[in-house]
Amino acid sequence: MLKTTVKLLLAAALLAASAAAGLWWWSGQPLALRQAPLDVEIAPGTPAKGVAQALVSAGVETPAALLYAWFRLSGLAAQLRAGNYEFEAGVTPRALTRMLARGEESLLSLTLVEGQTMRQWRALLAATGGLKHDSAGLEDAQLMAQLGRPGVHPEGRFFPDTYSFAKHSSELALLRRALVAMDKQLEGAWQARQGDLPIASPQQLLILASIVEKETGQAADRPHIAAEFYNRLRARMPLQTDPTVIYGMGERFDGNLRKRDLQADTPWNTYTRAGLPPTPIAMPGRAALRAAAQPSDSKALYFVARGDGSSAFSDSLTEHNRAVNRYQRGRP
């Protein structure tokens, strides 16, 4: 009786070892996919058996029981993570399981460009596939409240960068990342600022950086443009910068800025109002923040576009008028 039991146990052990060896071999073979790449969504809280079934339902052409058996043999069954995954042709059960255990989700990316406005960014987000558009329908004030910043104007408050995100990620979550990133960038710029700048808060630095961003054609001009605006603030001269007027016009701006537009008062018209406008006028990038914090030592009070993307700076109105005649009117 004992001998028979031992023989049965040995046979069972050999059978189990043989099955495990076969399963190990199978785990290294490419899986058949209904299509490649194959997108699979694993819902939060899905157990290993449910993950196997979800994979098969999505288009992994193998028995769910076989996948589940492999998950258990691999020792990773309890570590499989929810998320959105993309599997390429040739993926093996072994590689697939590692991806699920590491949470290597399929990532998309979106570039939020410096110099654009919140209105432009929201239109871009709405048109971006792969995002859950949970900010759609929210007014700007409602959006900022959802992000934990009630009463804060959204313009300029989000950092321009390229953001990676998993498919079906929250639009609000992406904006929250950009909001926190700008907090860090602005704090760094404020801490590194020159000590004699005529501004009283990080918000004022952000406003000026946004104007620098919109006025700059060539990167090398940023610190000089920032210096020109600071010089005007010190001299109590109006900033007289066209991008602020354009921002205040909103959707009424048709691409042409006319004399009557410069004379039409809005809170952002720096021809009719002294000092900085009440909010930023765009999303400034890192270089514009740095220029606003550390302007050049230029004494210029005026600048004009040369026509090649760069600007000509002048310390006096007489010099400026000569530059305007030369670069804008084609006169010597």
Query: How buried is 46 (Cβ within 10 angstroms: 0-12 exposed, 13-18 middle, 19+ buried)?
Result: middle
- Asked whether residue 209 carries a pLDDT value surpassing 50, the answer given is yes
The yes-or-no verdict on residue 1 having pLDDT over 90 is: no
- Given a contact cutoff of 8 angstroms between Cβ atoms, the answer to whether 31 and 38 are in contact is no
| Residues 280-306 pLDDT 10s | 999 999 999 999 999 999 999 999 988
**pLDDT, mean of residues 21-41:** 91
243, 155 Cβ separation under 8 angstroms: no
Instruction: Name the CA radius of gyration of the chain, rounded.
Output: 30
Contact 293, 194 (CB under 8 A): yes
More confident residue, 207 or 13: 207
pLDDT at 276: 98
| Dist CA 86 CA 49 (whole Å) | 19
pLDDT, the chain, mean: 92
Q: CA of 152: how far to CAs of 16, 68, 135, 149, 296, in Å?
A: 65, 50, 16, 6, 30
Residue 21 pLDDT level (bands cut at 50, 70, 90)? confident
The correct CATH number of 23-102 out of 3.30.360.10, 3.30.1490.480, 3.40.50.300, 3.20.20.70 is 3.30.1490.480
pTM score of the predicted model? 0.82
Quick check: bond before 63 cis, omega within 30? no
Would you state the structure tokens that stand for residue 332, as one six-digit string? 């010597």
Question: What SS3 state is found at 259?
Answer: helix
Is residue 313 a contact partner of residue 300, using CB atoms and an 8 Å limit? Answer: yes
The segment with the largest mean pLDDT, out of 161-170, 250-259, 265-274, is: 265-274
- Provide the 3-class DSSP secondary structure of residue 248: helix
pLDDT at 272: 97
Task: Compute how many other C-beta atoms are within 10 angstroms of the C-beta atom of residue 156.
Answer: 22
pLDDT of residue 259: 93
**Cβ(267)–Cβ(278) under 8 Å?**
yes
pLDDT at res. 79: 96
Percentage of the chain lying above the pLDDT 70 cut: 94
pLDDT digits (tens, 9 = 90+) for 190-208: 999 999 999 999 999 999 9
Measured CA to CA, the distance from residue 260 to residue 253 in angstroms comes to: 12
Q: What is the mean pLDDT of residues 48-61?
A: 96
Tell me the Ramachandran region of residue 244: left when phi exceeds 0, alpha when psi lies from -120 to 50, beta otherwise. Answer: alpha
pLDDT greater than 90 at residue 327: no
Per-residue burial over 283-321, b if 16 or more Cβ lie within 10 Å, else e, is bbbebbbbbbbbbbebebbbbbbbeeebbbbbeeeeebe
Q: Above 60 in pLDDT, residue 225? A: yes
List the chain domain ranges: 23-102, 107-186, 194-327
Nearest residue to 199 via CA among 226, 168, 218: 226
Question: How does pLDDT run across 114-173, given as a tens digit for each residue?
Answer: 999 999 999 999 999 989 999 999 999 999 999 999 999 999 999 999 999 988 889 999
Q: Could you give the CA distance from residue 300 to residue 291 in angstroms, rounded to a whole number?
A: 15
